[in-house]
Amino acid sequence: MRPFEGIKIIDLTHVLAGPFAAYQLGVLGADVIKVENPEDCDQSRHTGDNLELNRHDMGTNYLAQNSNKRAITLNLKTEKGRDILKQLARDADVLIENYRAGAFAALGIGYQEMKKINPRLIYCSMTAFGQDGPRGTQTAYDHAIQATSGIMAMTGTPEVNPLKTGAPVIDYSTGTMAAFAIASALFQRERTGSGQHIDCSMFDVALMLEASHIAGFMSTGKCPKPKGNSHAYASSYFYETKQGHIMLAASNHRQHTRLFAALGRPEMGHKDYEYRRKNFKSEAAELQKILMEKTAQEWEDYFQANHVPALRVRSMSEALADPQVKTRKILHRHERAAGFEGPMTVPMCAFKYEHGGPSIETPPPRLGEHNADVLASLGYSAADIATLHEEGVV
C-alpha cells in the first residue's frame, strides 16, 4: 500500500510547479483529478521540444508530470462549473490551485467557502509571492522569480552575469515544497481532524534555496558574487583535462588530504580552511597543470577509487545513459498513450521505498478524458453531461 492511497486530490493547477506537486502525490498513490478549462487548458500541453505533441495538446512539459491523473474539464466562470467543483470537494482530501491570489475567492471557491463544504479539506494555494504582503497580487514564472530573488545576480561568471539556471529549479522546488507541505498537513489532520489552508510562495521557496547565502549576507552585509564554476577551495573546483572537464568536490579536510595524497603531493594536504582560501590561486594552478595529464573519465575513475569526490561533466544524453539511472528506476516508460505514437519516457520520483513506493499505472490523460466517469460518479446522466458540454460548462 502506497502512502496516499485513498486520498483524493483536486488538481486545479497549470504549467509546472502546481502539476508537479500533485504528480508527486499521485505517484505515491493519491487519486488526482486534474481540472482544466475546456477552452483554455493547461498551457504546458502546448509546450515542449516536440512540436507535433504540442499540436495534439500533449506537449512534453505536460507529459513529464501528469501520469497517474484523471482529467476533466470545468469552466469555473460558470455557476454550474463551480457547483460541480463543490460537489467534488465534498469528499476530497486536498485541493491545489495556483492562480493569482484572490482569484478563486472572487469566484466563491476560495478556502473560506470550500471549508464550509468540507472542514477536513486541505486547500493549497501556490502563487508567485503568497496570499498577502505588498506583492501578493503580482504574478511571475520561474525565470522571473530567479531574477527578483537574487539567484540570477549570483549566477554566472564575473564577466557574464546575471544568468538563470538551465532548468526551472524554482518551479520544481516549489512543487516539491508544496507536496511536502500537503503531506505534513495530511499527517496533522490525522491528529486534529481539521483541514487548513496552505499558502505556498515561489518567492519564499527561492529564498529557502539561498539559505546559506542569506545567512552569510545577514552576517557580513556582503552580497554573494557570481563565481561561475568556482568554489571557495581549489580542491572543490572545475578543471579542464586532456579530454573533457571535471568537477572536483573535495571539500572537507579529509577529502582535501586524500586528493593531494592521490596526486602524489601529500605536502599540499593537511591545510586548514583559512589557508586553503588564501592560497586558492596557487593550488588551482598546480591542480590544473596536473589534471591536464589525463582525460576527465580517467581522472573520475582514479579519484573515485581513492574516495575523492570528483565527477566529469556530462551531457544530458550521457547522464541518462548512465547505468545508475536504470538501477534507481527514476524513469518510467509509457509504451503508448492517447495523443502520441510509440513509447514515451518520463521522470517519476527521486527516492525509493522498501515497500509501497512510487509507481506509475496510467499515462498522462487527454484533455477532459475522464469527464464522463467523474461526472457519472457525481450522479450526472449521459444526457446531463451532453447538456453541460453544449453549454460550455465542461
Position 230 confidence tier, pLDDT thresholds 50, 70, 90: confident
pLDDT of residue 256: 93
Which pLDDT tens digit goes with each residue over 45-54? 999 999 989 9
Hey, what's the cell of 55?
Answer: 499540436
- Residues paired with residue 8 on neighbouring β-strands, in sequence order: 31
What is the average pLDDT score of the chain?
Answer: 96
373 is known as an active-site residue: no
pLDDT in the model for residue 202: 98
- Looking only at the bridges linking them, the beta strands covering 245-248 and 238-240 are antiparallel
Fold of the CATH domain 238-317: formyl-coa transferase, domain 3 (3.30.1540)
Please report the DSSP string for 109-174 in residue order: -SHHHHHHH-TT-EEEEEESS-SSSTTTT----HHHHHHHHTTGGGSS-SSS-----SS-HHHHHH
Residue 339 has pLDDT above 90, yes or no: no
- Residue pair 375/384 in contact (Cβ under 8 Å)? The answer is yes
Beta strands in the chain (DSSP E): 8-12, 31-36, 69-73, 94-97, 122-127, 196-201, 238-240, 245-248, 310-312, 331-334, 344-347
pLDDT number for residue 357: 95
pTM above threshold 0.85: yes
Q: What is the mean pLDDT of residues 220-229?
A: 94
The residue type at 300:
E
Average pLDDT in the 102-128 region?
98
Is the pLDDT score of 184 beyond 90?
yes
Domain range summary for the chain, segments of one domain joined by +: 8-209+329-390, 238-317
Please write the tens of the pLDDT for every residue from 10-64: 999 999 999 999 999 999 999 999 999 999 999 999 999 999 899 999 999 999 9
Sequence-distant (6+) residues with CB within 8 A of 249 are: 236, 255, 309, 310, 311
Model confidence band, residue 338 (pLDDT cutoffs 50, 70, 90): confident
Q: Give residue 231's pLDDT band: very low, low, confident or very high (50, 70, 90).
A: confident
Residue 209 CA to its chain's centroid (Å): 13
Cα-flanking dihedrals φ and ψ of residue 294, to 5°?
Answer: -135, 170
Task: Please report which confidence band the pLDDT of residue 245 belongs to, taking 50, 70 and 90 as the band edges.
Answer: very high
Counting residues of the chain whose pLDDT is more than 70, the rounded percentage is 100
Give the model's pLDDT for residue 35: 98
Homologous superfamily (CATH) of 8-209+329-390 is Crotonobetainyl-coa:carnitine coa-transferase; domain 1 (3.40.50.10540)
Binned at pLDDT 50, 70 and 90, residue 271 comes out as confident
Contact criterion met (CB below 8 Å) for 253 and 276: no
Among candidate residues 42, 93, 142, 171, the one labeled active-site is 171
What pLDDT is stored for residue 329 in this prediction?
92
- Interval 241-267 mean pLDDT: 95
**Band of residue 169 on the pLDDT scale cut at 50, 70, 90:** very high
Q: How many CB atoms lie within 10 A of CB 382?
A: 10
Is residue 146 within 8 Å of residue 206, measured between CB atoms? yes
The stretch 372-387 carries a mean pLDDT of: 97
Provide the 8-state DSSP code for 239: E
Give yes or no on whether 8-209+329-390 and 238-317 have one common fold: no
